[in-house]
Amino acid sequence: MSRRGNSSSIVTVLLFVVAIAGVVFLYNSETFERVKPTIALQSPAYWNLSKPLSIRISDASGISHYKVILNANGEEQLLSSGIFEEKDRKKELDLEISYPKIGGVLKTSEVTLRIEAIDGSRWDFFAGNKAIESHKLSVDQRQPNVSIVAHNYHIQTGGSGIVIFHAKDENLDELYIETSFGKKFIPQPFYKPDYYISLLAWPVDEKSFSAKVVAIDKAGNVKQSSINIYAKKRTYKISNIALKERFLKETIADLAAGFELTQGVDDSLEQFKIINEEVRAQNEKLIHEITSQVPTTTVHHFNPEAFYPLKNAKSVASYGEKRFYSYEGKRVSTAYHLGIDLASVQNGEISIQNAGNTLFASYNGIYGNMPILHHGMGLYTLYGHCSEIRTAVDTQHKAGDVIATTGMSGYAFGDHLHFGVLVQGIEVRPAEWMDKKWIKDNITGIIAQAKQIIDNL
Ligand SMILES: [Zn+2]
């Protein structure tokens, strides 16, 4: 073989390799990608014809054409379309499609939406990849039905309440109680089909209270119904506490040694602020997570007894107290006291007056050893600063069981119980749930009244 022939065959092979590499490169490049655009509908099964339908078309090489065609009453109508130059092509196209105003009266309970999209790929002889999707949409223009059956007459700042209502829709999707302060209470099914019940709570740091039931169906029809509960303002004690040098240098310094957030912080006033604000916030976040859960089961009975967790106890600090802390005449920190402090004897036995399930039974920062129990319907009790916990997570307790003993674990000076009551993650005034008459007038009496109304319908 001559040298010349040899080198020309090498060139041929090289050209071939380059050509193959070029084809492989193009085949794998975005310019020639072969993936169809994806089409997604926000609510792919229902439409109320008044709320625009949200459609998202996405593709890696950008969208070059799209069409949205409605088939209603057997006739096709183009609702929206677009052609995009290469420089204007988006990888994600969000469309809001409205039902045509001159569409006439719909004679069917179903419409079909056809969505076509072509991407900017040069695949398929520069035609691009085409996606076609058809969605049958049930037309539902009816609002859910909501009516309030019963609620307690008034709710106080820091207090609890209850509401029972009727809600019905063929395609019910969401049901909750919206409040003026952003909290959504989640109702449980109650007694008979399409009835619901929920406890309510007015957080102590919120100036006002109002609430409404909100029902939304799968087609996006919304019905709201106000709960005309009388919101009665209640004021709570304000305490000004001057921090003493000795308290900071001894008590706080000792306490700070046990918290992660105060490691490496030497100034005891700084340590106090971290414990009173950041550690407290962390501990309360955990408490709120545990106590925000609401069962989905149907409530047939809810008949709580008054709580008195500690026998022969006297109250040493009340719920709702706003504590302003100052040092050398300057205000340095603030906190709300969100439970009632009860004291009797050292290591006094703590018992529950209502059956409950233990959800937490460990140490929680400033709360010390702290069991939390659920008594049904999103009603929780919390026991802080215990010396000993006598329950474990997932234990089902009956009324009368001893679950812990009082102590001074966590941020506590002197043996006492910090007793907290929570409704769907909100600390409420324990005094109400410790008062037999209040429970009858505001909770159990309202439930009995609601059952009577429902039975007579
Ligand atoms: Zn306390």
Whole-number Å distance, alpha carbon 248 to ligand 1 midpoint, is 19
Q: How far apart are the first and last CA of the chain?
A: 106
Write phi, then psi, for 287 (nearest 5 degrees).
Answer: -60, -45
Please state, as a whole number, how many other Cβ atoms lie within 10 Å of the Cβ of residue 169.
21
Nearest alpha-carbon partner for 217 in 143, 149, 277, 117: 143
Q: What spacing in Å lies between the alpha carbon of 286 and ligand 1's midpoint?
A: 17
Query: pTM for the whole thing?
Result: 0.83
Task: Please state, in angstroms and as integers, the Cα–Cα distance from residue 58 to each residue in 105, 118, 264, 280, 404, following that order.
Answer: 33, 10, 50, 45, 58
Q: Is the Cβ–Cβ distance between 211 and 143 less than 8 Å? A: no
- pLDDT tens digit sequence for 101-138: 765 677 778 999 999 999 888 776 667 889 999 999 99
What are the backbone angles phi and psi of residue 189, rounded to the nearest 5°? -60, 145
List beta partners, residue 294. Answer: none
CA torsion 6-12-14-16 (nearest 10°) is -150
- Sheet of 222-227, strands arranged across: 184-185, 172-179, 211-217, 222-227
Q: How far is the CA of 296 from the centre of ligand 1 (A)?
A: 32
Per-residue pLDDT reduced to its tens digit, 193-214: 999 999 999 999 999 999 999 9
Ligand 1 centroid – CA 215 distance (Å): 38
Domains of the chain with bracketed CATH: 33-139 (2.60.40.730), 145-234 (2.60.40.10), 238-424 (2.70.70.10)
For 254-272, how does the pLDDT look when each residue is reduced to its tens digit (9 = 90+)?
A: 889 889 999 999 899 999 9
Q: How far apart are CA 212 and CA 178, in angstroms?
A: 5
* CA 346 to ligand 1 centroid distance, Å: 16
Give the list of residues 6+ apart from residue 223 with CB closer than 8 angstroms, or none: 143, 144, 145, 146, 169, 214, 215, 216
